[in-house]
Each structure stands twice: as C-alpha cells, then as structure tokens.
Structure 1
Amino acid sequence: MPTTLDRVEHLARRLRHGGHPPPLLLVVPGRHWTPADLDRLRRLAAAGHPLAGHGWHHRVDGYRNLRHRLHAAILSRDAGEHLSLDRAGVLALIRRCRAWFDERELPAPETYVPPAWAMGPVAPRDLRGLGFRWFEFLSGLYDSERDALQRLPLLGFEADTRLRRGLLRASNRLNTLAGRGTGRARLALHPRDEQLLLAKDLEHWLTAAGP
C-alpha cells in the first residue's frame, strides 16, 4: 500500500543484503496511489521484485455470517474482503484488480493473493480467464492454466496479540513439518512484522532460509 511503501522497501533491502532473492510484492490497487508511489513500484519491479494483485481495498465492507466473524476474530481481522462478497463479486474484484496494473502501465502480474488468503465463495476452476495464472490459497499455489494445486506450506509472523502469536506458532510448526518432504515453504512477510510479537521467529527463519 502507499502507506507501507517505506517499510516494504526497508524489508526488501534487508532481504537483499541477506542474500535472499527479491520477494513477491503484494499490491493493493484500491488505495490512494500517487504518480510518485507508482514510480516507486516501477523501480521495485525493475529491481527484480515481481508484483502480485492483492484484493482491492484490503478491508471488508461488512460481515456476511457467523463463519466470517469467526474467521475475522482468529485470522483475518477486517482484511478478508472476499468474504464479504458473493461469487460474482469476488470474480469482478479480481478482474478489476488485474485491469488496474494495465491501466497504470505496471508490469503485468502473474499471481493473485487474496487478503488473508481467504478466496471466498469461489472454486479454483472459477479463477480461469481472470488475467492471473497463479492464485494463492492457505494450502498452496493454484495454477489456473493447468488446473492443478501445488501444496506449499505457509509460515506467517503477523502476531499483534498473544492469542495470534500462539496460533501462528502452532501453525508454523505444523507447516514446517509438512514442508520437510519438499524442503520448500512460503514465508509471508507483512510490513510491521519486525515490530510485532514474532519478530525473533522471523529473524530465525530469515537466517535459516538464507544462502
């Protein structure tokens, strides 16, 4: 987001200095992007950072049902905007997200990551023909061209309460075990993770995943 660009660039520099490849950058189109902000995005892309679509506003318009409220309380807070929409609304949002990159002459993204990895009331096969090839789910990466899901464990560090710290640590342990067969996992970094309750865990993983 425009408001997090400074922290994103800081993390990108830290990863580069640690010998890591440029991370995928998740872009929220529906925020107030100035021409200067867009130029910063273009410079990041030119430096090797692939861009990905990431919802539209990154916040919900309301809670549809009890399941959505529980998801928000445990995982997504007010970020899981797909969960506020029906199937047609989700597909329209993804198309709108993809068109935004073309309209601003940004590099075409191949990947779409729904906020909080909550895809909402759509099936994987609904995602064909929306302008993205890859779609991230909690369970892995869906290839819409091949109609195939690649299982890929996800590790996260956005813990701003003790409850979320405990849940994320437990999830990270389970996903670490799940990833041992392939030696691969996704590390999800959020702009404030270095200031939150799993900062030491993040430091460990950045070191362990280094060259």
Structure 2
Amino acid sequence: MKAVERLSLVTEATLPKALISVHDLMPETLPAVRKTLNQLERHDLAPVTLLVVPGRNWSRTGIETLRSLERAGYALAGHGWQHQAERISGIYHRLHSLFLSRRVAEHLALDEAGIITLINRCHAWFGEQGLKPPALYVPPAWAMGRISLTRLREACPFSFYERFYGVIDSASEQVYSLPLLGYEADNALRTAVLRVWNHWNWRQAQRKHRPIRIGIHPQDIELGLADLLRRDLSRSIKPIAYEQLTD
C-alpha cells in the first residue's frame, strides 16, 4: 500500500502544471461560461480563474452569480473595464486590432495615467459588490499598453498581472515567462495559426518544465479548435493558482 502511495505522490508531483483561466466573463457571456465550466468540472480541473469585466451592465442577479462562483471555489480576476477600446490610437494599436484583438484592447487607447485609473477602478469594483479583492489583473487581449512594471507596482493594487508573454509578480517585479495556449479560432486563418502555436507551446512547456497557461474564451468550445481544447483538457495536468507561482 505504501509503495502505491509513493508512486501516486511521484506521479502527482511530476504532472505538468497549468494555469487555467476563462476569459471575458460578462452578463452576456454567462451562459457560455457556464457551459465551459461544466466541461472543466467534468475533467475535474481546479483551481480555475475567471476573468471578470466589471464595466458591463451587471444586474443584482449577475452579481449574485459571481458571488456563488466565488463560494464554489473559483478565483475572480480583473479583466479591463469595458473590454472595448474607445478608439484606435496609433499604428501599433491599429495593427494589433486588425490581427489580434479586434477592438477589445482598451489599454492601447490610453496613456499611463488612463491605464492606472482603469486598473484601480476595476479593482475597487469587486469590493463594492461584496466580492473578494482579486489578486490577478489581465488586460483585454493581454495588451497592457504604455506602463512600466515599476508604475504597476507603485500605482496599482493587484498582486499579479498577466501579459501575453507571461505573469508578473508585482511585489518583486519578477516576470514568469510562460507558454500560452489559445483556442479563439473564429476564422480559418486563426484556426490554422493557433493549431501550430498551441503545438509549439506545449512542446516548450514540456522541454523547459514550465507551467502552461490555458486561456479559454466563452465560445471556444463551439469554435474551430473545440476538438483541440477537449484534448488538452483531457491531458494529465495539475492545475495551480496564480499565487502558487511564487512557491
């Protein structure tokens, strides 16, 4: 019996670690997010972080849903304010919008002061709704915009920030460069590119023994990479919380 227990412990310890997040939680995406969470629960995957967009039209019922998800063990994180850029600002933002983010990268339309105001407003909203202050902030499309790590630490209240290339521990300004998987394949080009991208990032995570980030959007279970998403969720992985990166 002890030998079996030791084997089980070794297997658990050597499983690839994964940071699993479900993006774009808004009142209008709640039904799709629920379907995604059902998939994750069937695979017994936890913990899972839910990226909440505060500045949408949240009703009392919607807020109570967030509270119930929190009570069920899901971690809530900040995810912008409106998830919609007020304008397209400059060549970089225009190209980013065209090829990656459409119009959701709201940070790219702001200067440093505007980014700081948005992040602080996002963080304060959770407490105003009777929710736990979130540890993690993820800008829409992982696009943080024109702000330094030092200013994030000095002027913004979150403990962790996630960007396209990895996760930042605000207290130490340490950057964890972590491979990222995505499944938002809403056209043929994205489907082809993401298949290659995800294959490469799985290999990188295995080769470098780093945690893998699995970022899921509400409609992904019905899009062109739904088969790949189901396969990845079926893998032998060990989900971890963002706070565990510093362990």
What TM-score do you get using the length of structure 2 for normalisation?
A: 0.82
Shift of 1:183: 4.7
State the alpha-carbon separation in 1 of the partners of residues 148 and 199 from structure 2.
28
- Seen in structure 2, the aligned counterparts of structure 1 residues 121 and 209 have a Cα distance that, compared at 3 Å, is farther
Residue among 223, 240, 247 paired with 1:196: 223
2:164 paired with 1:138 = yes
Residue among 222, 230, 233 paired with 1:206: 233
Aligned-pair Cα RMSD in Å: 1.3
What TM-score do you get using the length of structure 1 for normalisation?
A: 0.96
Q: 1:115-158, CA deviations, whole angstroms, 9 ceiling, x for partnerless residues?
A: 00000111222211411100001111100011101111110000
Whichever of the two has the greater Rg, that structure is 2
5 Å matches for 1:10-29?
A: 10-29=35-54
Identical-pair percentage: 43
State the alpha-carbon separation in 1 of the partners of residues 108 and 236 from structure 2.
33
Higher relative contact order (CA 8 A, sep 6+): 2
> Unaligned regions of 5+ residues in structure 1, if any?
none
Q: 1:16-45, CA deviations, whole angstroms, 9 ceiling, x for partnerless residues?
A: 121111310000000000011000000001
5 Å matches for 1:71-82?
A: 71-82=96-107
2:187 paired with 1:161 = yes
Runs of 4+ in 1 over 6 A off after TM superposition: none
2:29 paired with 1:4 = yes
- Counterpart residue identity of residue 86, structure 1: D
Equivalenced residues, count:
211
- Counterpart residue identity of residue 164, structure 1: R
Matched-pair contact (CA < 8 Å) for 2:80–2:119:
yes
> Unaligned regions of 5+ residues in structure 2, if any?
1-25, 239-247
- Seen in structure 2, the aligned counterparts of structure 1 residues 151 and 102 have a Cα distance that, compared at 3 Å, is same
- Seen in structure 2, the aligned counterparts of structure 1 residues 50 and 172 have a Cα distance that, compared at 3 Å, is same
